[in-house]
Chain A
Amino acid sequence: DIQMTQSPPSLSASLGDKVTITCQTSQNINKYIAWYQQKPGKAPRLLIGFTSRLVSGIPSRFSGSGSGRDYSFSISNVESEDIASYYCLQYDNSPWTFGGGTKLELK
């Protein structure tokens, strides 16, 4: 199985900050990584697929990049509605695997 090391587990930010979350994989996943947002009591929502492909309707302050084994997800100009948990998912190889998650809180 491909292991996903997501960091940091938690993040404290002020409104307007830029934050970055990283996922390192145990082997090359050929850019097949997606990023999800989950708010309490809600299902995850896909934000970005294939490393950097922003889902229609998702604000452009969300972005993703990376290649090989190293990937990152950023939110520029954090807004209050961005307070949530974020997860990466590799879908290059079965079984697909999620990162451990990052909880974004307001400072």
Chain B
Amino acid sequence: EVKLVESGGGLVQPGRSLKLSCAASGFSFNDYWMGWVRQAPGKGLEWIGEINQDSSTINYTPSLKDKFTISRDNAQNTLYLQMSKLGSEDTAIYYCASAGVNYGGMEDWGQGVMVTVSS
């Protein structure tokens, strides 16, 4: 069974940094593109970016490219999202997801982790 578990969220002050983790199990992590999606309270889904199997290709949505960094550790089956210069607009639930090979898009999702940016 595919399992993705995010961690590292919480309350953070404006201007600070935070690093989220996503622990993967139940599939061959190093064979899959992985990505992050976020959802502000009461709003829609926003694609953050994706990383390929060996980290040689990383794509971001342009508005977040200078603030967020996606990385992965295949030995630890873990995906990361480093967030910097956080503002209130970054308050959201952050989901990690595996990119699909059977159906396309983002196929399997974690349960999400809440990040609240507030003083």
Q: Which residues of A contact B (CB under 8 A)?
A: 1, 32-34, 36, 38, 43-46, 48-50, 53, 55, 87, 89, 91, 94-101
Residues of B within 8 A of A100 (CB): 44
Complex interface bits, B88-119 against A, C-beta within 8 A gives 1, otherwise 0: 00000001000110111111111110000000
* Alpha-carbon distance between A20 and B119 when the two chains are bound, in angstroms: 43
How far does the Cβ of A53 sit from chain B's closest Cβ, in whole Å? 5
Interface residues of B in 56-72 (CB under 8 A from A): 59-62
New contact pairs (14) apart from A36-B105, A44-B106, A94-B59, CB-CB < 8 Å: A34-B106, A36-B45, A43-B110, A46-B106, A46-B107, A48-B103, A49-B107, A91-B99, A91-B105, A96-B35, A96-B105, A98-B37, A99-B44, A100-B44
Give CA–CA (A6, B110) in the complex, Å.
25
